[in-house]
Amino acid sequence: MTWHFDTLAIHGGQPNDPQTGAINTPVYFTSTFGQTEPGVTRGFDYARTNHPTRGALEETLAALEGARHGVAFASGMAAINGTIVALLAKGDHVVSTRDLYGGAWRIFTKLWARFGVEFTFIDTTDPVNVAAALRPETKLLWLETPSNPLLKVTDIAACTAAVQGRGVVTVVDNTFASPCLQRPLELGADVVLHSTTKYINGHSDALGGIVITDRDDLHERLRFFQNAVGAVPGPHDCYLIARGAKTLGLRVERHCDNAETIARHLDGLAGIRRVHFPGLASHPSHDVARRQMKRPGAVLAIELDLDLEGTRRFARSLRLWTVAESLGGVKSLVSHPATMTHASVEPDVRREVGIVDSLLRLSVGLEDPRDLICDLDEALVVARCGVVKREAIA
């Protein structure tokens, strides 16, 4: 019997405890494991190497991507760093999506470039650019889709086809879509990566990352790195992330419902210059998103018809939407990429990719969408009138 997504999220890697019958995987708070005699273990020796609560999480998340191997890290960035270090060496070349998560951009350009790994950043929404950027020393194709913060969708199957037979490993950062909406390994990717801090945990109460693959050779290198470096999540975080994952399917559906309602409301509204959401027919990635994703996700970006100060006033005036980094949790969040997530990207590069000063990214949560819309509408009035105090409107 092959289980469906929602069943795997609850049962995959999470059997009842054989010893007690506890229906939840025990959280083992231990750093080491007793051996019956020197060198003879019960399957576990030291928690950096191998840990039952972490192992259960790795198995669950691998199952959700349709793969056999998951390697968990203490954060999404630790997972990204681990993938680069485990799979590359000095002199290797990476072709990467240009419209990239700010932290990934920073580690690629400011850290890994120093160690002799070369990066070429391209617009991967056109697969022709992928083939054109390949060099003999290209070892990795790094895709992030939908992209952050403009939600551009890369055609994963077309890009993996473009590197076919070139010995290039394709990695997809699937954080924004979650395995519920998009399954990169089925589209030809070799490795899929998540910041589990986002939708998979879903409650904004733990940091985590995971790297998933079905290839034994890649898994072996990732596992070696995990043990050698030890940027692993503790048992409590593993538990929180596994608990969040159990309701992933349910939550993501509602996140998507809310995002669609809000995107339609904002699209064309006075004071909103543009709504970036792949679910809208006007978005350049609308067709690819429809083919590749179950639904277009629950993050959107809006350009206000305001200057920087007006945009900040808008963000300040919101009551339900919290100004914060991150996404994918039950609470709705708003961020200002130019001064927050993408502040470390050089201003000219930022403008070139369309991250203007009036752009805000919305992570639509699970509140009642009527309340979320009401809050946005009121803040828009405040921001556009400038001096009017919020209390005067209520």
Ligand X SMILES: *Cc1c(COP(=O)(O)O)cnc(C)c1O
User: Does residue 255 touch ligand X according to CB under 6 A?
Assistant: no
237 is catalytic: no
- Taken in order 125, 149, 330, 25, the sign of the CA dihedral is positive
Catalytic option among 54, 152, 155, 173: 173
Using CB under 6 A as the binding rule, the residues of this chain from 135 to 174 that contact ligand X are 144, 148, 173
- The token pair that represents 104 in the structure block: 């990934």
294 is catalytic: no
28 is catalytic: no
For residue 77, the minimal CB distance to ligand X (Å) is 4
Order the strands of the 322-323 sheet from edge to edge.
272-276, 299-304, 359-363, 333-335, 322-323
User: Does residue 101 touch ligand X according to CB under 6 A?
Assistant: yes
| Among 240, 390, 260, 248, CA closest to 320 | 390
- Distance, CA of 180 to CA of 182 (rounded, Å): 6
Residues in contact with ligand X, counted by CB under 6 A, come to a total of 16
Q: Site for ligand X (CB under 6 A): which residue of 96, 109, 170, 175? A: 175
101 is catalytic: yes
User: Does residue 195 touch ligand X according to CB under 6 A?
Assistant: yes
For residue 195, the minimal CB distance to ligand X (Å) is 3
For residue 157, the minimal CB distance to ligand X (Å) is 20
Catalytic option among 54, 98, 198, 243: 198
Using CB under 6 A as the binding rule, the residues of this chain from 60 to 79 that contact ligand X are 75-77
Q: Site for ligand X (CB under 6 A): which residue of 149, 179, 202, 209? A: 209
Segment interacting with ligand X (CB under 6 A) among 24-32, 192-200, 266-274, 348-356: 192-200
Q: Which residues contact 126 (CB under 8 A, 6 or more apart)?
A: none
256 versus 383: smaller Cβ distance to ligand X: 256
User: Does residue 103 touch ligand X according to CB under 6 A?
Assistant: yes
User: Does residue 363 touch ligand X according to CB under 6 A?
Assistant: no
For residue 205, the minimal CB distance to ligand X (Å) is 13
- Distance, CA of 59 to CA of 211 (rounded, Å): 11
Where in the sequence numbering do the catalytic residues fall? 48, 101, 173, 198
**Which residues contact ligand X by CB under 6 A?**
75-77, 101, 103-104, 144, 148, 173, 175-176, 195, 197-198, 207, 209
